[in-house]
Amino acid sequence: MPPLGQTSDEIRIETWLKKPGDQVTEGEPLLEVETDKATLEVEASSSGVLLAIVHDAGTVVTAGEVIGWIGEPGENVPADHDMPAPAAPAAELHEPTPAAASPSEAGRALAAPVVRALAREHGLDINQIRGSGPGGRVERNDVLAAIAGTKPDGDPVPPHRQALAARLTRAAAVPQFSLATTVDLTRALTDLETTPGATVTHLLLRAVASALRLHPDLNRIWVEEGPRLRTIEPVRVGLAVAAEDRLVVPTLAEPDREPLAGLVTRVRGLVDDARAGRIAAEHTGAAAVTVSNLGMFGVDWFQAVVDPDQAAILAAGAIARRPVVTDDGIVAVSQIELVLSVDHRVADGATAARFLQTVKAELE
C-alpha cells in the first residue's frame, strides 16, 4: 500500500478492481481505498498478473503493508503469506467478463465508491439493495431509500466523521493563536475581471504560496518524532472543500507559478473530485498552510482550527463594501477580513504577522 497523504494511519480497502489471475498494467487502477480524506484509486505498481490478494475488501491496513502480489503467470508468492498462485492457465487471463453478467452473478453490486461508503456508514449491505440505475447500478437515492426503511437505535457516527473527530481532538492539544487583518480588494477585483471563473479564493492560494516562499519559517510542520520541523517542498497550499457531510482538504503544488486561468481549471477539477469523494494522489501531499473561504456563505470573519499536521490555516470572510477615510474623504472600498491561526510550536507572533502582511500586500 503506497502512502496516500492521509492524516490517519488507517487505510480501508474498499474494493479490488482486479481478481487473482487477471492481467494488470503498470499505472492502471488496481483497487479503491478510503482514507480519512477521500476514496482513492490505487494504481498497479508494475505490470504482470495479479497472483494473490493478501488483504480483502473491508480490511484496514497501513501504508507500506503488503496487500497483494503481482508477478509472472504461475509464479509462487512468498510462503510466509501462504497465498498460492492462481491455478487458472495463462490462456484464460485475457478472457473478458461477459457483458451480460448481472451484479448478483458478479457477486458485487454496481455502485460508485461514495455510494458504497454511504451504505456502509449506515450498516447496510449494498449487495442487498435493489439498484435503479443502468444495469442495476445502485444509486445514492437507492441507498437513502433503504436508510429510510431502517430504524436504528441512534445515529451511528460514519468512519469519516470519526476520523475528523480524532484529528480535531489532536488539534485541541496544539497551542495556537490567531491574527487578523483587513484587505483592500479594489485592485484584486479589477484583475479578476480579466480571467473568467477566477475568484478571491484563487488569489488567496497564489498569495499564500508566494508568502511561504518569502517566509520559509512558516513553510514547516511540527513532527512529534524528535521532535523536529519538516520543511514542505515543493511549496503546497491546502484548500478546504465542503463536501457532503465532510470537510476535505486537498493540496495544490505551487499555485503561484502558473497562469491564473490554468489555476482556475485545476481548482475546478480538484473541487469536483473532492466533492465526489475522490482525490488524485498528486493532491494528497503535505501542506503547511490551508486556505478556508466561507465568504460565499455570508460569513464576515471566522477563526479556523489549525490541523495538527499543518502549521497554519487562513480563514477568509465575505467581500464587503465599507466606508473608509482617505485623503480625498470617505469612500466605499471592497474589503475582506482574513484571520490567520498558527501552530505556536512552529512560529511566533512576529513571524506569523510578517507572513500575514505579505499575503495582504500580494492581494492589494
Pinpoint the residues of the chain covered by CATH 3.30.559.10. Answer: 175-363
Class for the domain spanning 11-148? mainly beta
In this predicted structure, what is the pLDDT of residue 120? Answer: 84
Q: Which residue has the higher pLDDT, 178 or 226?
A: 178
In this predicted structure, what is the pLDDT of residue 187? Answer: 94
Distances (CA, A) of 222 to 225, 228, 237, 312: 9, 6, 16, 11
In this predicted structure, what is the pLDDT of residue 107? Answer: 56
Q: Helix axis angle, 140-148 relative to 113-121, nearest 10°?
A: 10
In this predicted structure, what is the pLDDT of residue 157? Answer: 77
Distance between alpha carbon 76 and the CA centroid of its chain, in Å? 37
d(CA 128, CA 111): 12
Q: Which residue has the higher pLDDT, 26 or 343?
A: 343
C-alpha cell of residue 360: 495582504
In this predicted structure, what is the pLDDT of residue 106? Answer: 45
Residue with cell 503498470: 26
In this predicted structure, what is the pLDDT of residue 101? Answer: 37
Q: What is the dihedral of CA 11, 235, 228, 173, to 10 degrees?
A: -60
The band of 9, judged by pLDDT with boundaries at 50, 70 and 90, is low
Query: Per-residue pLDDT for 84 more than 70?
Result: no
The band of 87, judged by pLDDT with boundaries at 50, 70 and 90, is very low
In this predicted structure, what is the pLDDT of residue 99? Answer: 36
The band of 83, judged by pLDDT with boundaries at 50, 70 and 90, is very low
CB 122 within 8 A of CB 142: no
DSSP secondary structure of 124-175? --GGGSPP-SGGGPBPHHHHHHHHHT---SSPPPPHHHHHHHHHHHHHHTS-
d(CA 50, CA 30): 9
Q: Which long-range contacts (CB under 8 A, 24 or more apart) does 323-330 make?
A: 324/184
In this predicted structure, what is the pLDDT of residue 301? Answer: 96
In this predicted structure, what is the pLDDT of residue 6? Answer: 54
In this predicted structure, what is the pLDDT of residue 255? Answer: 97
Query: Per-residue pLDDT for 75 more than 90?
Result: no
For the segment 201-214, the average pLDDT, to the nearest whole number, is 98
The single-letter code of the amino acid at 109 is: A
In this predicted structure, what is the pLDDT of residue 12? Answer: 84
C-alpha cell of residue 170: 489532536
The band of 300, judged by pLDDT with boundaries at 50, 70 and 90, is very high
C-alpha cell of residue 343: 501552530
pLDDT digits (tens, 9 = 90+) for 49-63: 999 999 998 888 888
The band of 5, judged by pLDDT with boundaries at 50, 70 and 90, is low
Whole-structure pTM value: 0.66
Query: Per-residue pLDDT for 153 more than 80?
Result: no
In this predicted structure, what is the pLDDT of residue 89? Answer: 37
The band of 79, judged by pLDDT with boundaries at 50, 70 and 90, is low
Query: Per-residue pLDDT for 234 more than 90?
Result: yes
CB 314 within 8 A of CB 204: yes
Q: Which residues is 177 bridged to in the sheet?
A: 342
Q: Beta strand 48-53 with 241-243: parallel, antiparallel or unpaired?
A: unpaired
pLDDT digits (tens, 9 = 90+) for 93-136: 333 333 333 343 345 778 777 788 788 888 888 888 888 876 78
Report the alpha-carbon angle 55-56-60, nearest 5: 65
In this predicted structure, what is the pLDDT of residue 36? Answer: 66
Q: Which residue has the higher pLDDT, 312 or 85?
A: 312
Other Cβ atoms closer than 10 A to 349:
11
Distance between alpha carbon 82 and the CA centroid of its chain, in Å? 35
In this predicted structure, what is the pLDDT of residue 95? Answer: 35
The band of 198, judged by pLDDT with boundaries at 50, 70 and 90, is very high
Average pLDDT score over the chain: 85
d(CA 360, CA 364): 6
Residues 6 or more apart whose CB falls under 8 angstroms from that of 233 comprise: none
Give the domain 175-363 fold: Chloramphenicol Acetyltransferase (3.30.559)
Helix H or strand E segment including 323: strand 320-326
DSSP secondary structure of 168-201? HHHHHTS-EEEEEEEEE-HHHHHHHTTSTT--HH
DSSP state of 51: E
Residues 6 or more apart whose CB falls under 8 angstroms from that of 261 comprise: 195, 196, 198
Pinpoint the residues of the chain covered by CATH 2.40.50.100. Answer: 11-148
